[in-house]
């Protein structure tokens, strides 16, 4: 029988293990949870800023503020920019019912408006002509007033005020 050399024997704990043993991870510390809280607050603010027109009633976003026309629908149906030097504005009074007022180079106007969600109803329009000699400006102002009277919906999105016709097509775009 062979002699077993006890001095050269190997301890089983010293042999390489096919699956290395690791220490369990440390629990999440205060710093981790602090960072996670800040990320959650940031995400909440981003979401809130994207849906502010939905969270707050439209009247909260538009009343008491003057809006300047940026684009309008031309007679051919395309949305075009307001020509440079043309100043057309609109202001909503407190909501339901109240007055919507504004002016352009050739007109001052007042309408009674009603808002229900994003649906807009304009009634009792009073348009007063202001003397202006430029026929091009008169034409653009008339196109704007036609768009305004054809508006049936208004939405507030990303700081813009957009009027839509009954088919859902954008016809007027305002900026604050």
pLDDT grade, residue 96 (50/70/90)? low
pLDDT tens by residue, 17-53: 666 667 767 777 888 888 888 898 888 877 766 554 4
Residues 66 and 141 in one domain: yes
Which domain, by its residues, includes 115? 57-175
In a domain, 15, yes or no: no
Residues 146 and 102 in one domain: yes
Residues 67 and 143 in one domain: yes
Residues 49 and 115 in one domain: no
Tokens of 111: 């309408």
Average pLDDT of the segment spanning 97-118: 84
CB 99 within 8 A of CB 111: yes
- Position 57 scores a pLDDT of 47
Residues 116 and 164 in one domain: yes
How many domains is the chain partitioned into structurally? 2
E strands along 42-141, which residues? Answer: 66-73, 79-81, 89-92, 98-103, 107-116, 119-129
Nearest to 102 by CA among 125, 120, 123, 121: 125
Average pLDDT of the segment spanning 45-74: 68
Residues 89 and 158 in one domain: yes
- Position 53 scores a pLDDT of 46
In a domain, 19, yes or no: no
Domain stops at, among 37, 56, 75 = 56
More confident residue, 64 or 40: 40
- Position 134 scores a pLDDT of 82
- Position 54 scores a pLDDT of 47
Tokens of 19: 């699956």
In a domain, 3, yes or no: no
Residues 162 and 111 in one domain: yes
Q: What is the pTM of this model?
A: 0.63
The gap from C-alpha 33 to its chain's centroid, in whole angstroms, comes to: 31
The dihedral formed by the CA atoms of 154, 155, 156 and 157, expressed in degrees to the nearest 10: -140
Residues 49 and 126 in one domain: no
């Amino acid at each position: 029988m062979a002699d077993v050399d006890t001095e050269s024997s190997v301890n089983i704990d010293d042999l390489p293990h096919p699956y290395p043993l690791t220490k369990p991870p440390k629990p999440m510390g205060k710093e981790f949870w602090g960072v996670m809280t800040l990320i959650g607050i940031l995400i909440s603010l981003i979401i809130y800023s994207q849906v502010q027109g939905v969270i707050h009633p439209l009247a909260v976003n538009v009343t008491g503020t003057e809006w300047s026309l940026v684009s309008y629908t031309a007679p051919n149906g395309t949305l075009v920019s307001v020509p440079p030097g043309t100043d057309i504005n609109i202001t909503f009074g407190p909501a339901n019912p109240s007055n919507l007022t504004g002016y352009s180079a050739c007109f001052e106007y007042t309408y009674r408006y009603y808002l229900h969600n994003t649906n807009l109803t304009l009634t009792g329009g009073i348009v007063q002509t202001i003397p202006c000699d430029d026929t091009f400006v008169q034409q653009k102002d008339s196109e704007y007033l036609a768009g305004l009277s054809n508006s049936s919906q208004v939405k507030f999105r990303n700081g813009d005020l957009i009027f839509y016709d009954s088919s859902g097509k954008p016809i007027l775009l305002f900026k604050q």
